[in-house]
Amino acid sequence: MGRQRQTLHLTLRQRQQLDDYLRQNDLLPVQHNRAQVLLYWAAGHSAAACAQRLGTTDDRVYAMRRAYRRLGLTAYLAASVQGGAPTKLTPAAEAALTHLVADEPQASWSLRQLAEFLVGAGYTPSISYVTVSKALKRIRQTTPVTGACH
């Protein structure tokens, strides 16, 4: 059974606060996504549609919505960015992976083979096949899809 669709109603002042926040030049992607999640939610988009547009997961969108309800708008936007260890997948390695998958979509590469390729080609000294799996998922989510977002 799916989750019940919840709606968000933003006041004009809250919308202005979000617009002002998004105009900042030094926002990290996660900070930008925090504000966009609220705008998409208020526009009536589903969590899945928001996740697809922002290149994240449905669960992450739901977590951001819960954080907003718990903290309120000002505290939600001001919350510190929490991060883990930096990824071993450099932009060059991710680009190589993207091109490899795009050029040979039907090729039978295992995750381990893709990880070995990235190491062998010198993109990274070491990388886990799990990291490759996450990167492929992110690449597939951010690939443009035609049609409307509902």
Q: ∠ CA 11-12-16 to the nearest 5 degrees?
A: 120
**111 and 70 in a common domain:** no
Q: What is the number of structural domains in the chain? A: 2
In a domain, 85, yes or no: no
Shared domain for 61 and 99, answered yes or no, is no
- Domain residue limits at 126: 91-139
Give pTM, 2 decimals. Answer: 0.56
Instruction: Report the pLDDT averaged over residues 26-34.
Output: 90
* Structural tokens at position 11: 């006041």
Q: Does residue 74 share a domain with residue 95?
A: no
Q: How many CB atoms lie within 10 A of CB 38?
A: 24
The pLDDT confidence band at residue 27, using thresholds 50, 70 and 90, is confident
Judged on CB neighbours under 10 Å (0-12, 13-18, 19+), 57 is: middle
Mean pLDDT, rounded, for 5-33: 91
pLDDT beyond 50 at 149: no
Residue 9 has pLDDT above 70, yes or no: yes
Calculate what percentage of the chain has a pLDDT beyond 90. 49
